[in-house]
Amino acid sequence: MRRKFKGGSMPYEWLIEGLETTWSSTDLLLSSVDESDLDRPTPCPGWTVRDVVSHLIGFELLLAGTAAPEFLGAMPEHVRNDIGKINEAFVFERRHRSKTEIMEEFRQVTRAALARLRGLDQAAWEVVGWSPEGQAPYHRFVETRILDSWIHLQDLRDALALPEDDHGIGEEIVVNRFEAALPYVIGKRAQAPEGSRIRLNLEGRVGRSVEIEVLEGRAQGAKGPGEPTLEISTPVALFWRRAAGRISSEALLQAAETNIRGDRVLAQRIAEALAIMI
């Protein structure tokens, strides 16, 4: 169902729904654990459960106009760019806060963010501006916030050993984004040779079969039928975890659920190149 906004029906309501669902699931998960669980390490280098939530808080505060706190001392090795430095400053500032304080602030900033989004008209959603991936329409930036929040929800579930089926908008955005990057991964990063045809079978609720071919030095979606020189079959969950840098190339390729047929050297290069999320 579409929510009515000023100016008529709002085509981007599904994005608000995606953020709200993901943040609500994060809130519910954190509400079910003890104070000490916030100190558990996550798949994010150097970050605990508390740190991941602090990052989500900090990024929304930044978008609302709050300046990043001052960070004194050397940045950790996992910080690679300016946005990483900002993230780390917000995380460090909250490192000794209690679960109650972290939860209350998370609820406040996410409620405020959703209220701001619901106040936008359609034109505002289509304005091109800054995003972590460069200049992009605002609706694309909100998609990126869903991607980041949903992947971090899975980081929390993995850290807390509390898995759940978080199917829906978040999962679809994550898999679609990483699928769209495959020509870049296969052609530019993995340097698949001319004439290669790679078939990637993703298995799961949002599974699909993707075929990329390299023609005239360019990797692109395959046109027409053909036999792949390499075929990789793997669960959706392993695919996105590797693309997000949460598991190693070996963990992807050596998993019992992963099957490889064809050029194993190229499969290794693709698996190594697949980690594209900063």
What is the distance between the alpha carbons of residues 274 and 122, in angstroms, rounded to a whole number?
A: 35
- For the chain, list the domains and their CATH numbers: 4-166 (1.20.120.450), 175-273 (3.30.1050.10)
Task: Compute the average pLDDT of residues 72-99.
Answer: 92
- Tokens representing 194 are 């001319």
Residue 278: the pLDDT is: 64
- Average pLDDT taken over every residue of the chain: 94
The whole-number pLDDT of residue 4 equals 42
The whole-number pLDDT of residue 73 equals: 81
> Token pair of 54, please?
């602090």
- pLDDT-based confidence at residue 57 (cuts at 50, 70, 90): very high
| Three state DSSP letters for 262-274 | ECHHHHHHHHHHC
Q: What is the mean pLDDT of residues 240-266?
A: 98
- pTM listed for this prediction: 0.93
Are the C-beta atoms of 276 and 243 separated by less than 8 Å? yes
Phi-psi region of 261 (alpha: psi -120 to 50; beta: other; left: phi over 0): beta
**Binning pLDDT at 50, 70 and 90, where does residue 47 land?**
very high
Mean pLDDT of 187-216: 97
Look at residue 248 and give its three-state secondary structure: coil
CB 185 within 8 A of CB 214: no
d(CA 44, CA 156): 10
Q: Closest Cα to residue 247, out of 43, 96, 100?
A: 43
Q: Is the pLDDT of residue 46 over 80?
A: yes
Is the pLDDT score of 126 beyond 50? Answer: yes
pLDDT of residue 74: 86
Q: Per-residue confidence at 66, pLDDT binned at 50, 70, 90?
A: very high
Q: How confident is residue 10, by pLDDT bands cut at 50, 70 and 90?
A: confident
Q: Give the model confidence (pLDDT) of 202-214 as tens digits.
A: 999 999 999 999 9
Average pLDDT over residues 181-208: 97
Q: Which residues of 190-227 are buried (b: 16+ CB within 10 A; e: fewer)?
A: bebeeebbbbbbbbbebeeebbbbbeeeebeebeeeee
Q: Span 99-107, mean pLDDT?
A: 98
How many percent of the chain have pLDDT more than 70? 96
Higher pLDDT, 10 or 64: 64
Burial (0-12, 13-18, 19+ Cβ within 10 Å), 260: middle
In terms of phi and psi (left: phi > 0; alpha: psi -120 to 50; beta: otherwise), the region of 228 is beta
Average pLDDT over residues 81-109: 96
CA 213 to chain CA centroid, nearest Å: 26
Geometric angle at alpha carbon 60, from 8 and 103, rounded to 5°: 110
At residue 1 the predicted structure's pLDDT band, cuts being 50, 70 and 90, is: very low
Task: Return phi, psi of residue 68, to 5°.
Answer: -65, 140
What is the token pair recorded at 26? 């994060």
